[in-house]
A and B are shown apart, each in its own frame.
Chain A
Amino acid sequence: MPETKAIERRIVLANLDQPGYTPDIECYLKHGGYASLRKAAGMKPEEIVNEVKASQLRGRGGAGFACGVKWGFIRADEKKPIYLICNADESEPGTFKDRQIIDRDPHQLVEGMIISCFAVRAKLAYIYIRGEFAGGARILQKALDEARRNNFLGKNILGTDYSLEIYIHRGAGAYICGEETGLIESLEGKRAYPRIKPPYFPAVLGLYQCPTIVNNVETLCNAVHILRMGGAEYAKIGRPNNTGTRIVCVSGHVNKPGYYEIENGAWTLGQIVNDLAGGVRGGKKIKAIIPGGSSAKVLRMGEVIKLRQKQPDGSMAEKEMGILDIPYDFDNLQAAGTMSGSGAIIVMDETTDMVKAMNNINAFYAHESCGQCTPCREGSLWLQKITDRIVRGGGRASDPGLLINVADNIAGRTICAMGEATAWPVQSFVAKFRDEFEKACEKK
């Protein structure tokens, strides 16, 4: 990794922080808006899917699934209606990028959605936006109305025979609505109980049991830029299998918390935290970093990461490094035993009480479990109960082991990935800060 300072590469965020940039359509058009849609209108849907496949774009919502592959699941001879849903639930702790796009550059999302709907031949689409974003929902509604008036939306878009309606659906404060099948249940007017996969892969059996594409806000925005520059050109940004840019959200004990758009894999975790986010406040040292939203496994300062990296010749080689030297992208964070998840980097300084931090995280998952699966519902409550008693001075010597035991019995035994999201933080916190947990359990 070169010794240069990390810099941003703004593509999705190119405009929204520009002085005078406003969320109305005139401003968006002045900045070249809807040119990609015009281009798309002259293409065949499968040509657009092929561009997105060539771009190697991976989903920005958390799982990093290849977007073009997902779109490719929709069969050309599909008889059922096809739906598309924008996942604007943004609720993974530490994540605050989608809200910026929604509030300040809504037309980029609308354009991305229309292109994506055209590509998968969806004629009805929804934006599932978390309930707390009431203002954002109004901004998006205005953007949709403006798009309709300009014939970008509605009947016979730009003179083609393609028609599309997009509606907004507001959530009501439940994290599990971010999970795509829970989201679909919620959109059907039910409790957001995630569905079991298989068979309920949204692209096969989604909304109203029809093929449904669910994509994150940032993923859909990238469709605009892939069409503008072409898939192959887009794929030159970033690294193979980790193409394009990524909006990372840095929070916690840093001097300049905020959202930064970087070329995937171009910078290390340390460069992001120290160069972009200005390092830790008050000259303190880093103790731990959660690299991809609170569901991701924590990284401890000082631990040695054995990173298996693909070499240019295709072979695999293992390299030892500190956590700050991990290049930030999907594959490298996964190779480091954690994940880039939603791109949320939470930095904790040397003064952080890791047991308290753990208790805070446990309280989140206990509150947000939908309650369908016993391991997640009961386990998350037990995890919180245990860390809560440790924090209050009633911990038992067996508690660190018990935490691990409960977490081990949640992961892999639930309907949705929330089970892992609950277990991973506990497994990693206790394993990597065991001494702190043990000491806290001695406290009376």
Chain B
Amino acid sequence: MFTFMSMPPFSTLDGQVAEIVARYPVSKRSAAMPVLHLIQETYGFISGESIEWAANKLELQPINLLELVTFYPMYRQKPVGKYHIKLCRTLSCALNGGEALCEHVLKKLNVKLNETTPDGRFTVSHVECIASCGTAPVAQVNEDFHEGLTPQKMDELIAKSV
């Protein structure tokens, strides 16, 4: 999905960056996180060039952004599959079969944790408690929550994700 061919130039984001900066009238630096989110949503990951570009926009040093990318788990410097399956690893999910569910998914897709399937469709990762412990076990696929999961439900979800 995120081929280099289809990547719009950074300048297409200028308007959105201006809107973001306007939400932080006291300090432009506060716009760093939302600008990184914007870059990741647009390009699938945060490249070195995009960091340079954003730093320039926000009048920061590139390191000021790189240190965020390496600190906050949601930011990534490499692309992931079209569907990023994030399985909750934390206690309430683990007490409700989260571990077995994870093993099932990895086996079914024949990948290891944090790997992407060769066709580029799926990446499987862990997340820490995503505030859905009442419907454990849960996963997020990209931004969507999937609650009360079973191996069968997971299979259906994978089959639907084309």
Bound pair: A and B?
yes
Query: Which A positions have Cβ atoms within 8 angstroms of B?
Result: 81, 90-96, 98-99, 124, 130-135, 167, 169-175, 186-192, 208, 249-253, 257-259, 290, 294, 344, 346, 348, 352, 356-357, 360-361, 363-364, 367-368, 370
Q: Smallest CB–CB gap between A440 and chain B, Å? A: 17
User: Which chain B residues lie closer than 8 Å to A167 at the CB level?
Assistant: 23-24
For residue A370, which residues in chain B have a CB less than 8 angstroms away from its CB? Answer: 71
**Contact A94 B72, beta carbon cutoff 8 Å:** no
Complex CA distance for A107 and B31, rounded to whole angstroms? 25
B162 at the A interface (CB under 8 A) = no
Contacting pair A357 B131 (CB below 8 A): no
Please tell me if the beta carbons of A94 and B143 are within 8 angstroms of each other in the complex: no
In the complex, A367 Cα to B71 Cα: how many Å?
11
The chain B residue with its CB closest to the CB of A351 is B95
CA distance A156 to B74 in the complex (A): 38
Q: Are A259 and B134 in contact (CB under 8 A)?
A: yes
Neighbouring B residues of A364 by C-beta, 8 Å:
90-91, 128-129
Given the interface pairs A172-B36, A188-B27, A368-B128, the reply to whether A132 lies near B74 with Cβ below 8 Å is yes
Question: Interface range on chain B: under 10, 10 to 19, 20 to 34, or 35 or more?
Answer: 35 or more
Interface centre among A175, A188, A208 (most CB of B within 10 A): A188
Report whether A93 and B140 are in contact in the complex, using a CB–CB cutoff of 8 Å: no
How many residue pairs link A and B with beta carbons under 8 A? The number is: 143
Q: A134-B143, A357-B95 are in contact. Are A191 and B67 (CB under 8 A)?
A: yes
Give A83's nearest chain B residue, CB to CB.
B26
Provide the bound-state CA to CA distance between A354 and B30, in Å.
Answer: 42
Distance in angstroms from B118 CB to nearest chain A CB is 27
Question: Nearest-CB distance from B14 to chain A (Å)?
Answer: 19
B127 within 8 A of partner (CB):
yes
Instruction: Check B131 against A208 for contact (C-beta < 8 Å).
Output: no
- Max chain A CB contacts within 10 Å: which of B23, B32, B133? B133
- Minimum Cβ distance to chain B for residue A437 (Å): 17
**B49-84 near A? 1/0 per residue, CB < 8 Å:** 000000000101000100110011111000000000
A170–B33 touching, CB < 8 Å: yes
> When the two chains form their complex, are residues B135 and A257 in contact, meaning their CB atoms are under 8 A apart?
yes
State whether B127 touches A208 (Cβ < 8 A). no
CB < 8 Å neighbour of A257 from B58, B72, B133 = B133
The answer, among A95, A170, A252, A352, for a CB contact under 8 Å with B131, is A95
**B94 contacts partner chain A, Cβ-Cβ < 8 Å:** yes
Chain B residues with CB under 8 Å of chain A are: 23-27, 29-34, 36-37, 58, 60, 64, 67-68, 71-75, 89-92, 94-96, 127-136, 140, 143-145
Given A169-B33, A188-B29, A368-B128, CB of A257 within 8 Å of CB of B73: no
Q: Is the CB of B143 within 8 A of A249?
A: no
Q: Determine if A131 and B134 form an interchain contact, defined as CB atoms under 8 angstroms apart.
A: no
CB <8 Å contact, A172 and B72: yes
Give chain A residues whose Cβ lies under 8 Å from the Cβ of B68. Answer: 172, 189-191
Q: Identify A132's interface contact among B33, B127, B134, CB under 8 A.
A: B127
Asked if A99 meets B132 with Cβ closer than 8 Å, knowing A93-B91, A188-B30, A252-B95, the reply is yes
Please give, as numbers and ranges, the residues of chain A lying within 8 Å of B37 by CB-CB distance.
131, 170, 172
Q: List 23 A-B contacts (CB under 8 A).
A: A92-B129, A93-B129, A95-B129, A95-B133, A132-B74, A135-B144, A135-B145, A169-B30, A169-B34, A171-B33, A172-B68, A174-B73, A187-B30, A189-B33, A190-B64, A192-B72, A250-B134, A253-B96, A346-B91, A346-B92, A348-B95, A364-B129, A370-B71
CA distance A170 to B41 in the complex (A): 13
With contacts A135-B143, A346-B92 known, is A251 near B134, CB below 8 A?
yes
A356 to B99, CA, bound (A): 12
Q: Are B95 and A208 in contact (CB under 8 A)?
A: no
